[in-house]
């Protein structure tokens, strides 16, 4: 059994953020509060209502869970920036647009749930919000969970078209190569129904990667030890380092059908996290097979809940808590 309660939290501009608390039965409560920080332009329900479903399941297992609408989304007051593209809005979120909202929520939670351990769970842009805010409220939080943590900025729209990312390019070209074996595909190609622009852009992305890898193997480019400096979010990484250096346990939840996971592995895990003992001590990685960014399907929700609860069980038997 669990109880639900609506809450309102004032942010730094006096706007009221609306949220829902899922409160477990006292017989299973473990004095832990988990706060969901959603993707940035979504709502407290998540795609396909998955945030509500996951929150209720975690609460049934003993966690108190708060999910809320950030300013300008859902039931909360405020407005999102007007007249900009979705990629540019994502870049603003990745630059800390919801940081102040997050600070207000953490401060509220510390007052309302005195004596509780407070954990922060973010999805995509929500990881940015909680990292920047958590680094400023180190004494109030006990750990963080990062789902689809974006380590690179979203591509800018320089030509009016969103650049194709490497993972998407690979999937696109694999699809077209498979279609080469089908006569019906040639008919579609000759009739002009195929997206030549997407095909050519994907080919360019993959060719650039091949050339870059070849130059590295020949010794013309430095390899390893550094992320993509042009697009890496250094402010967020510095805040993340602060969390780790202060002994905050971190769980990375990584959907394997997601661009963010490919970039996380290549630019952060392989080049940075696996090269230092302190990251090995405090960071844990949970890969979610057959799961995409939305987490909306039952299999993905089940896996997500299991990994989160397993992590908390591990913390109970470790020196982190």
Q: Across residues 53-59, what is the average pLDDT?
A: 93
For the chain, what percent of residues have pLDDT higher than 90?
A: 48
Q: Across residues 74-97, what is the average pLDDT?
A: 82
User: In the predicted model, is pLDDT for residue 271 greater than 50?
Assistant: yes
Number of residues assigned to the chain: 321
- Which residues fall within 8 angstroms of residue 304, CB to CB, at 6 or more apart? 54, 147, 253, 288, 291, 295
**Crossing angle of the two packed helices 86-94 and 125-136, in degrees rounded to 10:** 20
User: In the predicted model, is pLDDT for residue 206 greater than 90?
Assistant: no
Measured CA to CA in angstroms, residue 117 lies from 14, 100, 125, 143, 234 at distances of 27, 21, 23, 9, 28
pLDDT, the chain, mean? 82
pLDDT of residue 45: 77
pTM of the model: 0.78
Q: Can you list the positions of beta strands (E) in the chain? A: 2-10, 16-24, 32-37, 64-68, 117-123, 143-147, 250-255, 283-288
Q: Across residues 73-102, what is the average pLDDT?
A: 83
Burial of 264 per CB tally in 10 Å (0-12, 13-18, 19+)? buried
């Amino acid at each position: 059994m669990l109880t639900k309660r609506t809450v309102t939290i004032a942010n730094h501009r006096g706007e009221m953020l609306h949220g829902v608390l899922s409160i477990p039965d006292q017989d299973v409560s473990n004095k832990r509060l988990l706060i969901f920080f959603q993707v940035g332009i979504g709502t407290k329900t998540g795609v396909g209502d998955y945030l509500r479903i996951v929150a209720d399941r975690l609460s049934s297992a003993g966690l108190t869970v708060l999910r809320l609408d950030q300013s300008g989304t859902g039931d909360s007051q405020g407005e999102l920036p007007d007249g900009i593209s979705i990629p540019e809005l994502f870049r603003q979120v990745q630059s800390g647009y919801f940081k102040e909202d997050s600070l207000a929520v953490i401060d509220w939670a510390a007052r309302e749930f005195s004596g509780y351990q407070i954990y922060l769970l973010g999805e995509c842009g929500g990881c940015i919000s909680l990292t920047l805010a958590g680094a400023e409220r180190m004494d109030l939080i006990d750990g963080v969970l990062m789902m689809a943590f974006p380590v690179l900025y979203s591509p800018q729209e320089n030509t009016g078209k969103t650049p194709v990312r490497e993972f998407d390019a690979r999937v696109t070209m694999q699809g077209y190569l498979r279609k080469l074996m089908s006569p019906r595909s040639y008919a579609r190609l000759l009739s002009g129904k195929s997206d030549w622009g997407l095909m050519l852009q994907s080919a360019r992305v993959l060719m650039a990667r091949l050339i870059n890898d070849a130059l590295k193997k020949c010794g013309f480019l430095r390899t390893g030890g550094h992320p993509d400096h042009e697009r890496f979010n250094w402010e967020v990484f510095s805040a993340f380092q602060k969390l780790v250096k202060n002994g905050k346990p971190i769980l990375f939840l990584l959907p394997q059908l997601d661009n963010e996971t490919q970039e996380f592995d290549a630019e952060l895990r392989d080049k940075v996290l696996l090269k230092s003992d302190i990251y090995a001590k405090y960071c844990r990685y949970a890969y979610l097979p057959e799961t995409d960014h939305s987490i909306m399907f039952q299999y993905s929700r089940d896996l997500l809940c299991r990994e989160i609860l397993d992590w908390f069980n591990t913390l109970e038997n470790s020196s982190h808590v």
